Amino acid sequence: MDSSFNDYQGNIRPPDNIKREILIQDTLPIDENDIQLKEALYLSLQENSIQENINKLNNLYEEKIKNEYINELIKRKELFYTLLFEFNKLIKYDKEIKEIYEIIEPVIDAYCNQYIEYYEIDEITYDKIFKVIRTIRTNKNIIESLKNILIKY
């Protein structure tokens, strides 16, 4: 067994010599165009980063506005749903209610879709609308809300 051990020792190579390396500075001449190109690239990267942040903020703001619009739309439609439902049942039987419905339905729709906040109407029509609405059994809060939308001029 001794002879096989000696055979392996002869096949082992000695370790490499230790080398010490030092980095040297680039000795190539610096071109003015290279400096301008590097500055332009740096500025472009900064502007791109800023633009991405602005786009993110704009997208968040748009989402916020959309959500507020949708929430307000739902709230307004729920407010007038009962009144319009009652009108829909009665317009089949009463001509006067149908006339009033044809006047206030587009106004309520425009209000719910946030196209308008109020609608000016002449005093005679205003009185006629609320005279007919008083004959319908409905929530008084809805009538008050409608009075805030329909304004006499």
- Work out the mean pLDDT of the chain and round it to a whole number: 85
**pLDDT mean over 123-132:** 90
pLDDT at 14: 79
**Which residues face 152 on adjacent strands?**
121
What would the pLDDT profile of 14-45 be if each residue is shown by its tens digit?
788 888 887 777 666 667 777 888 888 888 88
Alpha carbon distances (Å) from 30 to 23, 25, 41: 18, 12, 17
How far apart are alpha carbons 108 and 70 in whole angstroms?
A: 16
pLDDT of residue 40: 86
Distance of CA 45 to the CA centre of its chain: 27
In 52-85, which positions are buried (b, 16+ CB within 10 angstroms) versus exposed (e)? eeeeeeeeeeeeeeeeeeeeeeeebeebbeebbe
DSSP H helical ranges for 22-31: none
Check whether 50 has a pLDDT greater than 80.
yes
* Mean pLDDT, range 54-76, rounded to an integer: 94
Q: What is the pLDDT of residues 97-127, one digit of tens each?
A: 899 999 999 999 999 999 999 999 999 999 9
